[in-house]
């Protein structure tokens, strides 16, 4: 009886997976399609995605710039407050437009990251002083985890399921907006390790990667925070 009721009334988790599953099929189809691209063409997707965001937000961005120029003029206090209110509304609109474009780009962006991971297989580099040989390509459960994170939800995964790799998917996608993406770790070692371990994916796709460590001075921190991706 209980199993029958579960089928009749699926859990929230099951509903979420059902709604996400079509996206997984689309990502994998795009992944196969991108096999035909050269490394340079795959890397060029990053600029292509950025231009799509820039194009969609061009009108509101221009209006914000015009209002900011007005603030430099000799305007009275009330007019300044009105301008600030208008800028705030436009920035909110800009954010909503950007969010919608990122949602539209998700399938292609995730497929690009998966394709980059495949092309790195067999390559070696150092991460936190240890030599690693790359052998990871996101599988379906990890793609689901990445989508859930992009949606602003909590993705609970067991040890060994590849949470570090999962995070690269929404990090790449959201970095396209040009506002910087930060991943918080529990200590300096993990920040350094993950920035070097996963950083090669981002670098392959033309992004800059930084790391914040406790002993860094303000100038170095500022430099790191200005990267596309910061651990």
Instruction: Report the mean per-residue pLDDT for the chain.
Output: 92
**How does residue 131 score in pLDDT terms, banded at 50, 70 and 90?**
very high
Rounded to whole angstroms, how far apart are CA atoms 77 and 39? 54
Burial of 228 (0-12, 13-18, 19+ CB in 10 A): buried
Average the pLDDT over 184-207 and give the result. Answer: 97
Cβ neighbours of residue 155 under 8 Å, at least 6 residues apart?
145, 146, 148, 149, 163, 166
Confidence of residue 157 (pLDDT cuts 50, 70, 90): confident
Is the pTM higher than 0.75?
Answer: yes
pLDDT tier for residue 156 given thresholds of 50, 70 and 90: confident
- Residue 3 pLDDT: 57
Q: Which two tokens stand for residue 166?
A: 């999962």
Average pLDDT over residues 24-51: 98
Q: How confident is the model at residue 12 (pLDDT cuts 50, 70, 90)?
A: low
61-72: pLDDT as tens digits: 999 999 999 999
First to last CA, the chain: 49
Position 19 scores a pLDDT of 81
Q: What are phi and psi of 130, to 5 degrees?
A: -110, 135
- As a whole number, mean pLDDT of residues 180-205 equals 97
Which residues in 103-114 are b (16+ Cβ under 10 Å) and which e? Answer: eebbbbbbbbbb
Q: Does residue 7 carry a pLDDT above 70?
A: no
Q: What is the model's pLDDT at position 153? A: 86
Q: Quote the tokens at residue 80.
A: 């300044």
pLDDT on residue 8:
46
3-state secondary structure at position 177:
coil
């Amino acid at each position: 009886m209980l199993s029958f009721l579960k089928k009749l009334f699926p859990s929230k988790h099951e509903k979420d997976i059902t709604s996400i599953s079509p996206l997984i099929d689309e990502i994998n189809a795009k992944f196969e399609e991108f096999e035909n691209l050269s490394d340079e063409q795959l890397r060029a997707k990053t600029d292509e995605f950025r231009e799509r965001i820039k194009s969609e937000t061009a009108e509101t961005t221009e209006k914000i710039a015009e209002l900011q120029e007005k603030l430099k003029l000799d305007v009275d206090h009330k007019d300044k407050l009105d301008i600030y209110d208008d800028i705030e509304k436009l920035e909110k609109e800009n954010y909503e437009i950007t969010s919608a474009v990122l949602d539209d780009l998700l399938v292609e962006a995730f497929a690009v990251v998966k394709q980059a991971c495949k092309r790195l297989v067999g390559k070696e580099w150092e991460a936190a002083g240890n030599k690693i040989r790359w052998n990871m390509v996101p599988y379906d459960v990890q793609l689901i985890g990445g989508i859930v994170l992009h949606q602003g939800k909590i993705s609970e995964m067991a040890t060994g399921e590849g949470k570090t790799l999962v995070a690269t998917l929404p990090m790449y996608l959201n970095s396209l907006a040009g506002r910087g993406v930060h991943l918080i770790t529990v200590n300096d070692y993990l920040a350094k390790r993950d920035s070097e371990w996963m950083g090669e994916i981002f670098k392959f796709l033309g992004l800059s990667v930084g790391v914040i460590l406790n002993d860094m001075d303000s100038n170095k921190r500022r430099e790191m925070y200005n990267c596309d991706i910061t651990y």
